[in-house]
Structure 1
Amino acid sequence: MKLTPKQKRFADEYIKSGNATQSAIEAGYSKRTAAVIATENLIKPNIKAYIEKCMAEIASNRVMSYTEAVELLTSIARGEEKETVVVATPVSVEKVEKEADLKTRINALKEILKRYPNNDKLVEQQIRKLSAEADIAEANAREVTDNGTANEIRVIGFERRAEEDERSETS
């Protein structure tokens, strides 16, 4: 069932103001019966559904999408976004448009890279470091002496670790 023009006006006014009685009056209903008609209109399924649909659209337009966020970060990182800065001059105060400073641009780049972890060299280096630490811990565990205490192993560079791995495999 479609809304009548009056019902649509009522719903649109209600969405703007949140006041049902005033919305009914604005839509063209009599002031004398506006409160009752407003209450009835808010109960009608087709009007209620229309209001809910419009409110959902408004809410989704207020929240930035993932794509919009990445596009904004990209424009900041590229220096395309300008910010207004107030600068004092000897005569007066002026507003100047300037691009983001280097620190802000780098932070925008970091935020973008968080969304693409496969391309993040820092994450790659951290993974490599954790792998090396795990290898060292494993080597320490293999070097336990007869009395149950571990010998300290100092691994310097990947070449020495590889040599020790070869020796332990052959014994």
Structure 2
Amino acid sequence: MTRKLTKQQRKFANEFIKTNNAYQSAINAGYSKAYAKNAGKKLLENGGIQSYINKKVGKVEENESNAADEVLRNIYRIGAGKEIERRYVNIDNLKKEALDNDESLNARLEYMEDTTIIGPASVKEQVSAAELWFRLHGDFKNDSEEIEKQKVRKLKAEADIAEARAQEYDPEDVGNDSDGFIEALNKGAKEVWGDSDETES
């Protein structure tokens, strides 16, 4: 059974959680500099202090985890088209103007109305939530990078074909101009894509 921490030990533990520096935490907790030099060994190995720090960290992790779980539940419910509760504040601008735009609590109660609606989200919100859900699960890949690579390959191929055409073009051989163009085109295509039935003609 661990003994109850002293006020100074609790102060040290809280400081250590904030700074992760045993020496400075001991100084801030009121220990002498000589004692603080060995604070890592003496204080951090204390079972009560360890337990206190673990409980504090555990609470934060649990609270954060619960909050994250709630967000995930809401994303799933919206994406699945399930009923959700929404709260809106409607402002009657005519009443607000009649009250000279008074922002006092009593005036706001006159021109503001809190409305709660229970029902599925809009289709657009459902699609966005479902997309986010699948992305979080890794089921939905973003293809934009691959598409960009394909565009670059296509542009490079077109440039290579144009260059090959320019190299093969003989201005004196006007009669066979179209044949030279087709030949250059095929040669450029073969260099880019290799031999295939589509590039040979």
TM range (shorter): 0.3 to 0.5
- From the CA coordinates, give the structure whose radius of gyration is larger: 2
Structure number with greater CO (CA < 8 Å, separation at least 6) is: 2
Q: TM-score, normalised by structure 2?
A: 0.38
Q: TM-score, normalised by structure 1?
A: 0.44
